[in-house]
A = this chain, B = another copy of it.
């Protein structure tokens, strides 16, 4: 491989001079600078990042931890993050957890190893008490999850108001018996106090209460993630004696599962059952029943969390911003 000394030799200068040229330091004459550029070009030289890193420049890389990249929500989020990170001259290392705690910890180990200068967690697998211990090894920012910790920058959608408005929307359409799905495990839901998902839930119940509506606990569905989960939920619903007339799903996937099975179960959407999605995924509007859904500000979320994290890495940020972005209801045909 081509090293800085080879460039120095060819250009007839010292390695320091080459280094100065590379890093655009002053006090190099035009003549030598030109020679160095010529030599670098001729040899096709690019400085080796690993060597630079040993001298204290970071890895110029940030890690993005997601449960699964095939989930469009996360691939869109990664896309937004990558674009921003790239613009700020960093690289993006993607790590999938597949929902496993151990993978999240392995990802955080990248901080120790100095493979990454910072990490964006787009979902939390481990308890915060465990994760917080990694803060001393590098910057951590959280996106799309609620963390009640001053020292951690956090960018989330305003789930409370989003769901409140979504619920209001259903009520405005004359619906009063509203079911609710969440991706959370029912157990965790009980254990944790104020977290991301209960923000959503709180928005939902707040809207109900404002209209003197009650919630039937039989209509709470947990662990709902996939299209198949949505289908299973609709099957359950169709066998209930007390049927809801609307359902708030945790994601467009679940909503897709529901609307896809409605016809064969002879359920009319939205007359018999209004279905409200969350995310506004690209295909949501092309389904047999185009989804009415709550759009998450994915692009802004990704952009802002990346900017905040890199600000923190560079030390040019006021510590630990908490950024909350508005959700938006997209009315279509399913509700």
Contacts and interface: CB of A to CB of B under 8 A. Distances in A.
Interface in A37-88: 44, 46-51, 53-54, 59, 61, 68-70, 72, 75-76, 78-79, 82-83
Nearest to A78: B69
Given A70-B72, A70-B75, A282-B227, A96 B82 contact: yes
A304 B239 CA distance: 46
A115 B91 contact: yes
A27 interface: no
A286 interface: yes
Interface string A259-293: 11000000000000000000000110111100000
Copies of this subunit? 2
A208 to B, nearest CB: 30
Contact of A79 (B48, B61, B69): B69
A113 B47 CA distance: 6
Contacts of A96: 79, 82-83
Contacts of A188: none
A256 interface: yes
Given A113-B46, A113-B49, A70 B59 contact: no
A114 interface: yes
Contacts of A288: 286-288
A109 interface: yes
A49 B1 contact: no
Nearest to A103: B86
A50 B114 contact: yes
Contacts of A114: 1, 48-50
A94 interface: yes
A112 B83 CA distance: 22
Contacts of A48: 113-114
A17 interface: no
Interface string A80-121: 001100000001111010000000000001001111000000
Nearest to A44: B112
A303 to B, nearest CB: 15
A188 B54 CA distance: 45
Best-surrounded residue of A47, A69, A93 (most CB of chain B within 10 A): A69
B256 A286 contact: yes
Interface in A286-302: 286-288
A77 to B, nearest CB: 10
B69 A69 contact: yes
A51 B109 CA distance: 16
A115 B47 CA distance: 10
22 contacts: A1-B114, A46-B112, A48-B114, A49-B50, A49-B114, A50-B51, A50-B53, A54-B54, A69-B75, A69-B79, A70-B72, A70-B76, A70-B79, A70-B282, A79-B96, A91-B115, A92-B94, A93-B93, A93-B94, A256-B283, A287-B288, A288-B288
Given A46-B113, A50-B54, A69-B75, 9 more contacts: A48-B114, A49-B113, A50-B114, A68-B79, A70-B75, A83-B96, A91-B93, A91-B115, A227-B282
